[in-house]
Amino acid sequence: MSPVQRGNPWATLGDGPLIAPSLLACDFARVGEQIDTVVAAGAEVIHVDVMDGHFVPNLSMGPPVVQSIRRVTDRPLDVHLMVTDPAYYVERFAEAGADSVTFHIEACDGADQAGEIISMLRDRGLGAGITLRPGTPAEAIRPVIEQVDLVLVMTVEPGYGGQEFMADQVDKIGDIRSWLRDDQRLEVDGGIKSDTIGLCAAAGADVFVAGVNVFRSPNIPAAIAGLRSAAAQARQE
């Protein structure tokens, strides 16, 4: 796979399914090595979960970590902001090397503020994504859905890796897919493994975030191949 140019990556990555391993589950003592492994196995995107300890209970990585990751991979960095003030971080992650930033509708004071953040991302040439917690109705993102490149449906509560997939989110995936244009992506994150990815793909998702089930697998290439195969099969049925 040829290197992806910096900037909004979503229109250049093909139809999918796209596998986006989540660095939240990697061994940070070997992060460069593990990124090389997932890229060699065909992962198209690297997913970066950012937590501020306020919007969600946990803390994770910030712009300096993303800057370091940027130096070791040409794959697009898909940054998911689980933070109280996403506007504050847009410039910082843009400078650190993010290619796309997804933020939570729950962190915004209405659709106008969400639209302003999307405009900030556009001004910096980045992909723009919107996401929502499992308990937030799909209608919450409807006012801005036409403005984004990607919608991320959380199939677990944000803030912790390794949670069980919430099957009641599959209908939400289908509803949101029906609102999207063909050029917009639908990503899912949470409990994605070989027996859940097909449900999401059949409902219309085409980008799949997987952390524990990739980085903690004894055979990372086989794990990625299995996810891709299960998603592709579900899309064909």
- The residues that are catalytic are 49, 189
Specify burial of residue 109 (Cβ count, 10 A radius: 0-12, 13-18, 19+).
exposed
| Cα 59 from Cα 83, distance rounded (Å) | 10
Token pair, residue 205, equals: 């998702």
Instruction: Report which residue type is found at 235.
Output: R
Question: Distance of CA 233 to CAs 16, 64, 195, 210, Å?
Answer: 12, 39, 12, 18
C-beta of residue 78 within 8 angstroms of C-beta of residue 44 = no
Number of separate helices (H) and strands (E) present in the chain = 8, 8
Token pair, residue 21, equals: 């391993």
Strand partners, 210: 21
